[in-house]
Structure 1
């Protein structure tokens, strides 16, 4: 398998840019409890930046649109994007707001708790959505997440549908109000994890059967393809012509901070090569699994060669 891009089609990411402040400890704190961290480090993050960097490491030419504040964290984020060969042409600097920050706690098992301060991400507006869509053509892919204003995502999805651009939505953070059937009908692929699946469907997917039931429900409500991520238990998917299960890859996990973002980047990279759905989901699962073997957000994104090796060996 090669992750080299073999199509003139493009992938764009519209989403958040954060600097992650990550604290690792033996366990996660309970309400009212203080935990002493074993170590703390900074990492590039934000679901949008994570996806964009993961796509570049998979050798995909990605167009990324986001916002930072005019502060030291913004300087850090922009330098990281440049280092990862991502153009700043669609990155706006807003002097009135701080750059997005994520406070992340990770325990010894790789489980995490995340608190996000949106900062400049809260001003990623509908005008920006219209600008990015103007650069895309029918058949292109647009990756979205939920760390930017809902109205911006809705406008991006509406315009994408008008141009036959295929939207891949990671519904994270989980929307407490759910997602309307009208909006689901405009989404090509949705990729919830267990928590997000329960929020969207009322079904907690703890087995392959319950995951497929939830995926089918999302399809019945209008989404073309539903992919339910079960973490270390694998991935279930349901599409117009097929459904199935991808077993988990055997890796030693460190943390799962950016696993979902790398999953969607892997999915888009495979679909850009016209991979069949089962192959695309397996590629995505490999990317997500590899992301858990490294620390941090965008820093954990795997390179194309690593993904190819894991797919060959397992």
Structure 2
């Protein structure tokens, strides 16, 4: 290991002994993104005409699971624990996840809540406004973890984010770590009052960006030296390892065995929306293969960089061959 009640479900996933437990488990949110592209964003009370729209898979839990499944291919099982509604959006989310190769045995249908939605407006300059409706994501609870206990117990890496209720995140982290899995937390969206001590105590690797780092430790890093200070502060909070993402300026990592800085890869970026989720997907896959943190972070950085060369969220996730080629440059 790296040192480092709601409504009653209408579907109860069960383990099939003929299908291996997933190596990587994402426990988190599932959304459908509805994106409208228009010359300008509407002001209060204004109606405007968009030029086009798009729908796609969203939610950090789903995006990270889908990206990891695409990277891993058939070599590694990747599963998702969460909820969708019994509606057309839920069907769309399941179909999208399955196309990526994600194991949806522990994705439950919630009869009392709709599927999570993100309503996104993007103008001609690339500025955006986003309204998120958590819906069934906000009903994820211990019951979902109970249904997925066999998957949690067999996973090497459990990916967590903060788009489901905090009690479920804390309990998922506790169970995963007790089972010997690496607990990988993407602290997004970062709470204004930081993370509770009960969660810090269970984190193996935390991966904030600059804004999230500032909310967690009061320091917004802008270069490698400041990222090192932030990394030390994150580890002092309780995380066994910290990975501080500086966007186009690189990535700093530190754990009990050492530290390092990964310089950015040279790519032509056109859309950064998927970079963070693809980074975490690459990190989870690499750690599940037993790589030391420094090597895993470099692999993850290549994944995040390639995601910026394509549009979309989960759809921007790279194939492993693309990542391996970039690592050789």
1:301 matched to 2:314: no
CA distance in 1, matches of 2:254, 2:294: 10
Pairwise CA distance, 1:110: 6.2
* Alpha-carbon spacing, 1:176–1:73, altered in 2? closer, same or farther (3 Å): same
Pairwise CA distance, 1:224: 0.6
1:47 matched to 2:50: no
* Alpha-carbon spacing, 1:219–1:306, altered in 2? closer, same or farther (3 Å): same
CA distance in 2, matches of 1:133, 1:292: 35
Alignment match, 1:197: 213
SS at match of 1:136: helix
CA distance in 2, matches of 1:116, 1:265: 22
CA distance in 1, matches of 2:307, 2:96: 18
Q: What is the TM-score of this pair, normalised by structure 2?
A: 0.85
Q: Which runs of 5+ in 1 are unaligned?
A: 1-7
Alignment match, 1:232: 248
Alignment match, 1:14: 27
1:98-117 matches, within 5 Å, as 98-106=114-122, 113-117=129-133
Paired residues of 1:109 and 1:255 also in contact (CA < 8 A): no
Deviations, residues 51-75 of structure 1 (Å, cap 9, x unaligned) = 1111111123112111111111111
Deviations, residues 223-249 of structure 1 (Å, cap 9, x unaligned) = 011111111111111111111111111
Paired residues of 2:22 and 2:78 also in contact (CA < 8 A): no
CA distance in 1, matches of 2:258, 2:123: 37
Pairwise CA distance, 1:105: 4.1
Deviations, residues 39-91 of structure 1 (Å, cap 9, x unaligned) = 42111111111111111111231121111111111111111122222233111
1:71 matched to 2:84: no
Pairwise CA distance, 1:103: 2.4
Deviations, residues 183-233 of structure 1 (Å, cap 9, x unaligned) = 212100000111110000110111211111111101112101111111111
Alignment match, 1:311: 327
1:285 matched to 2:301: yes
Paired residues of 2:153 and 2:176 also in contact (CA < 8 A): no
Instruction: Name which one, 1 or 2, has greater alpha-carbon Rg.
Output: 2
Alignment match, 1:58: 71
What count of residue pairs does the alignment treat as equivalent? Answer: 306
Pairwise CA distance, 1:107: 6.1
1:89 matched to 2:105: yes
Alignment match, 1:129: 145
Pairwise CA distance, 1:154: 0.9
1:212-227 matches, within 5 Å, as 212-227=228-243
CA distance in 2, matches of 1:104, 1:299: 16
